[in-house]
Structure 1
């Protein structure tokens, strides 16, 4: 009897602790859109009242009171435009361009036998100057946000619309972590006193990011930021509202347009000089893969240069991320990555779909990293690297910009919470076999949650929901991606991926947490795949480090590694694998292999880590194999590169990849996605294997070729498995998942070389761009 009482008291104590933990979570995480009805049919009167409250700002901080420099005053637009046009930097470039254009006119006039008069020259230059001033005025008009007194009213309209949109799409809420925003509030108050900018640098996952970040800033009492936006969002009516909310429309490419660059640089400098908040996506574009992309440094370069010139005293860098249970663009991402014709897409187009607005997509979780001073960060770099001359030393500037870009991405990865739906998608795609039973799915989801939290990363917890509930919730949200078999003769429901390619977007949201461990496991796989007993499936540490170094270097464009040397990262990751009983490491003998526990469990945890990285390895192997198709045709010189239009080469590579996938020589359809393949080509270009020529006419395009050292050898006109390119493909192939040809000695089969040969014979066929290039060259 007393034993039963002790057990009962123990259970009650655990229940009390659980309730306290849930209460703390509810207090720590706040849903900022939980204060009103979400749908017209549910409560039409309440919805109208809710709209009125949002337009007036009743019930929250309102529109007049916010932390940050004053905005939305009369004359803001005119002041900004005038300051840009009167600035010394813009005046100088106008003067320089006017002089250059005048000189060009003089050359043309002299070539025709004309004479140059001083009076006419001055007049011509003045005319050029006036034309350039008008162009600069139009550029500034396009760029400058409409944050004046009229814009304030439009912000009210936009905030009300966004509240309705987010409430409908993300019916389970938009959550923030209170402690993070309290810290940002203190930094923002300090920045306001010192006329300094908050530089918001979020990850870019969806068009919805534009709405979510600004909306959260507005609701929580911060000055809404100016935000860099592509011209594809410059849509009539909508653009008026977005510009009032801080949108700064810029071209995707401005190439050699010096005047455009000068106007944009000056505007950004003025924003920071006036202590106005600023936001840009450090990746430059939306990630179609689910993980962060390598940084695009154009806007950061302008900011750092402006700081180095003394245009502003300091700014505060704020890494941010918005994590979604589901984003609306994954299908279009998948289509685009598979090489299907790209549909012109915009925020309005995405939200304008009635079917999208009827969906319930779960919740959004917004997180921010610890803000830090740009000035202090650059001072730290000066101490680490020695005195830096950012303005005059291009190499030092490049190092600093890359360091800052990757620091921000690392910060974003550190704060990004893993959504429950991403957990379910990850488990389904990292199990061997066609599907998983419900009990297995729950067991693996609980294991993955523990592993992620063991890495000090956050898994979004939903108070009151068990793992069973979270599985059901994720399947309901992703019912078009995750299928369920319920046949009568099945012992339990079985779940499977309906569209594994699209579902891989959610799996990739986890990879940054385990990238170093996954690379170690894939490196060890080069010996494990050969089979045998325990003593046959082990590797010396030095050999493992060599394989890890090769693979890490190969994937460096796609993967964001933790700060530190390759040796340090490998040591820490290996220790984690040992601590979690995945591998053993005998430090005396130097041998590394699968732990006994991992062997007894069917190496499920080891396989999980390999499954995360294998699709990327497949992409790089496919990209390497596709380089064989750049071989000069049989009847051409084998010592000179043959160049192929890059867009044609990409289509050819994807066609080769799809053929290999459906014939069983490629394990993952995700491997043919054009984004990872393009990254692989960039890496091979960095390594001097692939050559590229860039052109600007008739549009921006490029053509690619193979360095002569890597041109494959032929025997009787047939490509043979020898040479540097073959050895590279062989080495990458060692890491691939075993499949149809796992017993072959050669990773690149004769079938693959035959296909490459057939494609290479088409290399003499010119694309439209190449024909135009040849035609223009013949005229010279």
Structure 2
């Protein structure tokens, strides 16, 4: 919860260029208006593909390559010429690094085959027959990824000299040569299967024309960019081309349409099209070939079990960078199903960092890109996937059957924003100079994480807030079932002012009033919001919460600091009582915000300023906005200040004006953060199902009616524990089933809290914290197993009549005066303070029904194993 220093914000939003210096030839060639910063780059977007005459005229212009459509004056490395792809493939295959890798693998495999001969797994007769050129059975396969480094051949030829030595030498040499040749052929196959085919300008024109028609039909309000950003991007691209430097476009990923939108815009403004890093799941018949010729390069999502493939892919990317060719990399790795940014993926970033360090290029320019849509075509699919339905594989049939329907949709508008490209070499140099690496930290990992989150921060900074996001937020941050039209308009007006005040951009469609903006958004949200017209006032009711949460989450990054502050104050508010009891002191505020920020650390893109600085900055703004108020602890009427709060003379609470308004702003911030708190609580409490060491004791005493203090509770040796392991893939569905049960019974407040994306992030965070342990099986196709760390498994203690505390949980089935205790119980009881007050809960997690469902809904044990806790490494947990 900190802010990036302004002197490091080299990628700040592009500033408009002075009109006197605008290149008039650009406006003329690219059919752009010099006096308008908002530019719809779709060619005549108001013309539908069904307007045959105009479409025909447009296609003739494309076929002739008239003006900018000819794509013959691009800025950047040359592409779209005969032999372009072959040059790159040859560079990869002949690369010294690839050749060394091939020789190393060939040596390992040949040496292993030699060991097979020595051990009798391959008969000597086979060797002689092979060397004599006779027809023999196929040579046994060798799994090189499970081998030790190559052993010198002399290891197998030591000892008494016999006539077999020369035969073994010949066999080794022959096999090494043959394996090397096979690996060289496979190298060419890998790069040819992966490489883009950007060889034809005529195809590029045809593809560009098709994309224009598709986007113009689907997004009837056009695709908009800022002219000032485009002009600056062209200027920087011109300088980069002179130095043979690549521009790496790093867009957020909300839809499969992203590929088409960004490539189309770059084509439209005359920049060299990027090679797009895409998953091989999109390499489907026919479609894959088309995408490949448009710049897509297909890469497997996992390199496991193949030592050659990652080297070939790395060298392919290095060869592109050495030629100064542009790349497009989706920093999140996959499409966001929730609407907010996902944590960054570091695979391609690692290759870029290696290219800088190995001086394969003088520099790399990084250009974060934001793509925002009024509507995304996959909205319904996302809901199904978030609720646990398996993702459907892409297919040509699915594309054809859904394509015609998509072209008839009217999905509003697309807004794209470019951050000013910044130097990766300068960023790494500055980080390496300033960053202090702790003894147990991997320096490169920390650099990559800093780089990834810098990109996400840039994307958030330039993102345009769409009307649907504001309407969806108001609908999901209200109390009650529905909202009147006037209240909805007032809520959107207030939210819009807050967003603008914080320095973010709200989409401006030239509409004259907020009511028009609301009406336009609602027209694109049909099916998500019910409109009741037969009442005293037109009233709107959210009916598809999951879909609406996609839009609400798009503004979460703007108010995350306010949400965390309000969540901390709510821990006092929910206790009830008169107003003075609902206030919070500075130290408690700091500890509470620190805790919840620590829990949700990987869920949001926080700034880099110290926590204390950000708390003070946020509180000061909320005091100015009359959302919060500072008052003296003795309840005197004197005016208290932030200094009084810090020094303990005053406390912080909800301002009187805010209470008078029904806590509109305060509750809005809480409604933004609560679904995430619920998800993380659900993920954490579900871990009790993975602790049968405690659960088995409970089950064995279900029929016990009296205390049994002499029971031998199951305890392990001080440092050695017997731990059950579970399949990781079973954890998510079992947790979702528990969550849905709790939601339907009123124990969970938010339906969207059971979504698979947030729960997956929560489990990853619990693993970082050391609560969950994980390992891979040793099968040929390894599977991830997980377990609860023995350090966190609850155990049973006798209370001796003492009332339950924050450190304990009363579990159904235990004898009287017996409770669960342990770090996990303490953690859960601390986290539950931040949950929204509801049925049968305030400040504890030990509701009997909750535990009952958890114990009955856990996954099945795969195996029990013994663990030495001294070898467990995990993140230090703050004192709770």
**If the length of structure 1 is used for normalisation, what is the TM-score?**
0.91
Aligned equivalent of 1:320 = 369
Partner of 1:483: 530
Which of 47, 58, 73 in structure 2 is aligned with 1:50?
A: 58
Tell me how far apart the structure 2 counterparts of residues 569 and 701 of structure 1 sit (CA, whole Å): 42
Residue correspondence of structure 1 range 53-64 to structure 2 within 5 A: 53-58=61-66, 60=68, 62-64=70-72
Superposed, 1:290-369 pairs within 5 Å as: 290-345=339-394, 349=398, 352-353=401-402, 354-369=404-419
Q: 1:763 offset after TM fit, Å?
A: 3.6
Residue in structure 2 matching 1:86, options 76, 90, 94 = 94
Query: Given that residues 41 and 223 in structure 2 are in contact (C-alpha distance below 8 angstroms), is that contact kept between their aligned partners in structure 1?
Result: yes
Does 2:845 align with 1:747? yes
- Taking a change above 3 Å as real, the CA distance of residues 467 and 333 of structure 1, as seen in their structure-2 partners, is same
Question: CA 1:33–1:764 in structure 2 vs 1: closer, same or farther (change >3 Å)?
Answer: closer
Distance 2:524 2:602 in 1: 32
- State which of 276, 290, 298 in structure 2 corresponds to 1:227: 276
Residue in 2 that maps onto 1:10: none
Partner in structure 2 of residue 281 of structure 1:
330
What residue number does 1:648 align with? Answer: 730
Once residues 343 and 834 of structure 2 are traced to their aligned partners in structure 1, the CA distance between those partners, rounded to angstroms, is 23
**Alpha-carbon deviations, 1:439-497, whole Å to 9, x = none?**
0000000000000001100000110342111111111111011111122xx21111111
SS in 1 for 2:444: helix
Given that 1:37 and 1:47 are in contact with CA atoms closer than 8 Å, whether structure 2 keeps it comes out as no
Kindly provide the CA deviation profile for residues 307-362 of structure 1, in whole angstroms up to 9, marking residues without a partner as x. Answer: 10111101111010110000011111111111123222369845751332221000
How much does 1:30 deviate? 0.5
- Structure 1 residues 84 and 479 mapped into 2: Cα distance closer, same or farther (>3 Å)? same
Deviation at 1:278, TM superposition (A): 0.8
Q: 2:561 aligns with which of 516, 530, 541?
A: 516
In the superposition, relative to structure 1, how do residues 725 and 451 fare at CA in structure 2: closer, same or farther (>3 Å)? same
Match of 2:594 in 1: 549
Instruction: Give the RMSD, CA atoms, in angstroms.
Output: 2.3
Match of 1:561 among 606, 621, 630: 606
- Corresponding residue for residue 529 of structure 1: 574
1:495-523 Cα shifts (integer Å, max 9, x gaps): 11111011100000000001111011111
Contact kept, 8 Å, 1:684 with 1:690, in 2: the verdict is yes
> How do 1:92-241 and structure 2 match up within 5 A?
92-112=100-120, 114=124, 117-148=168-199, 151-241=200-290
Equivalent runs, 1:591-740 vs 2, <5 Å:
591-632=651-692, 634=696, 639=716, 640-695=722-777, 697=779, 699-714=781-796, 718=813, 720-740=819-839
Deviations 1:634-657 (A, max 9, x none): 279664221111111211101000
Aligned CA distance change for structure 1 residues 31 and 346 (closer, same or farther; 3 Å): farther
The CA deviation string for residues 200-242 of structure 1, in whole angstroms up to 9 with x for no partner, is 1111111000000010000001001011011111122222221
CA-to-partner distance for each residue in 1:522-561, whole Å, 9 max, x for gaps? 1110001112222111101111010101101100111111
1:436 to 454, 479, 483: 483
TM-score, with length taken from structure 2:
0.80
Instruction: Decide whether the 8 Å contact of 1:621 with 1:733 is kept in 2.
Output: yes
- Residue matched to 2:502: 455
Change (3 A) 1:577 1:394: closer
Equivalent residue runs for 1:391-406 within 5 Å: 395-406=442-453
Find the aligned partners of 1:479 and 1:346 in 2 and give their Cα distance.
28
2:635 matched residue in structure 1: none
Instruction: Give the helix-richer structure, 1 or 2.
Output: 1
Task: Report Cα offsets for 1:276-329 as digits up to 9, x if no partner.
Answer: 111101111111110001110000001111110111101111010110000011
Counterparts of 2:674 and 2:734, CA distance in 1: 22
CA gap of 1:173–1:638, structure 2 versus 1, over 3 A, is farther
- Residue number among 294, 306, 312 corresponding to 1:257 in the alignment: 306
Q: Could you report, residue by residue, the CA deviation over 1:148-168 in whole angstroms, capped at 9, with x for unpaired residues?
A: 2xx322211211111111001
Q: C-alpha distance in 2, partners of 1:93/1:542? A: 57
Greater Rg over alpha carbons, structure: 2
CA distance in structure 2 between the partners assigned to 1:444 and 1:438 by the alignment: 10
- What secondary structure is seen at the aligned counterpart in 2 of 1:641? strand
**C-alpha distance in 1 between matches for 2:516 and 2:782:** 51
Q: Is the 8 A contact 1:198 1:277 kept in 2?
A: yes
SS across alignment from 1:642: strand
Distance 2:92 2:247 in 1: 21
Cα distance, 1:546–1:657 mapped onto 2, change above 3 Å:
same
Q: CA deviation at 1:36?
A: 5.6
Provide the rounded CA distance (Å) in 2 between the counterparts of 1:118 and 1:712.
62
| Secondary structure, aligned partner of 1:584 | strand
Structure 1 residues 194, 55: closer, same or farther in 2, change over 3 A? same
1:19 maps to none
Distance 1:550 1:352 in 2: 49
Instruction: Give the deviation of 1:379 after TM superposition.
Output: 2.3
Structure 1 residues 483 and 338, CA gap change in structure 2 (3 angstroms): same
Could you say which residue in structure 1 is the equivalent of 2:319? Answer: 270
1:765 positional shift: 6.8
The alignment status of 1:380 with 2:420, answered yes or no, reads no
Q: Classify the secondary structure of the residue corresponding to 1:708.
A: coil
Instruction: Determine the C-alpha separation between the residues in 1 that align with 2:527 and 2:63.
Output: 36
Q: CA deviation at 1:248?
A: 0.9
CA shift, 1:662, in A, is 0.2
| SS across alignment from 1:705 | strand
Question: How far is the alpha carbon of 1:756 from its aligned partner?
Answer: 2.3
**CA distances 1:691-734 after superposition (whole Å, capped 9, x unpaired):** 11223735342121111122223589946443221111111110
* Cα distance between partner residues in 1 of 2:437 and 2:729: 43
Corresponding residue of 1:68: 76
Measure the CA separation in 2 of the matches of 1:168 and 1:26.
27
Structure 1 unaligned blocks of 5 or more: 1-23, 768-780
Which sections of structure 2, spanning at least 5 residues, go unmatched? Answer: 1-32, 125-163, 631-640, 701-713, 717-721, 798-810, 865-880
Residue in 1 aligned with 2:27? none
Summarize the Cα distance change of 1:579–1:352 in structure 2 as closer, same or farther, 3 Å threshold.
Answer: farther
SS at match of 1:643: strand
Evaluate the alpha carbon distance shift between residue 347 and residue 711 of structure 1 in structure 2; reply closer, same or farther with a 3 A threshold: farther
Comparing 626-635 with 357-366, which one deviates more in the overlay? Answer: 626-635
**For 1:696 and 1:602, how far apart are their aligned partners in 2?**
58
User: Which secondary structure does the structure 1 equivalent of 2:247 belong to?
Assistant: strand
From the superposition, tell whether residues 525 and 404 of structure 1 become closer, same or farther in structure 2 (CA, over 3 Å): same
* CA shift for structure 1 position 383: 3.0
